[in-house]
A = this chain, B = another copy of it.
Amino acid sequence: MTMEIEPNLLTDVGRRLRALRADQELTLEQLARLTGISAPALSLIETGKRDARLTTLAKIAAALRVPIRTLVEDPADAASTGGDAPAEGYDLGDYL
């Protein structure tokens, strides 16, 4: 029951990224020039095979003119989480 880091995180981010790029009708080559990130690297990220760094995601988000949040999080999930509240009330016991 040890909640392990959502194995499809990278796949989901990749799917969203590809959808956004498709919306703006950009090729990997074009997005590569806009971001300074090579097309092969973008391909790996879109297919969920690469664990991109934060600044890499930021460059992509900037080029696509969307907030980073759009790449990183499922909009539906963002609503369910309520707002921003730290969740509170769960004790770590003496595990620490």
Contacts and interface: CB of A to CB of B under 8 A. Distances in A.
B52 A9 contact: no
Q: How many copies does the complex hold?
A: 2
Interface in A36-59: 51-55, 57-59
Contacts of A53: 51-54
29 contacts: A3-B62, A5-B55, A5-B58, A5-B62, A6-B58, A9-B55, A9-B58, A13-B54, A20-B86, A30-B92, A33-B95, A33-B96, A51-B53, A52-B54, A53-B53, A53-B54, A54-B54, A54-B72, A64-B86, A65-B86, A65-B87, A66-B84, A66-B87, A67-B73, A67-B77, A68-B72, A69-B73, A69-B78, A70-B84
Interface of A: 3, 5-6, 9-10, 13, 20, 23-24, 26, 30, 33-34, 51-55, 57-59, 62, 64-70, 72-73, 75, 77-78, 81, 84, 86-87, 90, 92, 95-96
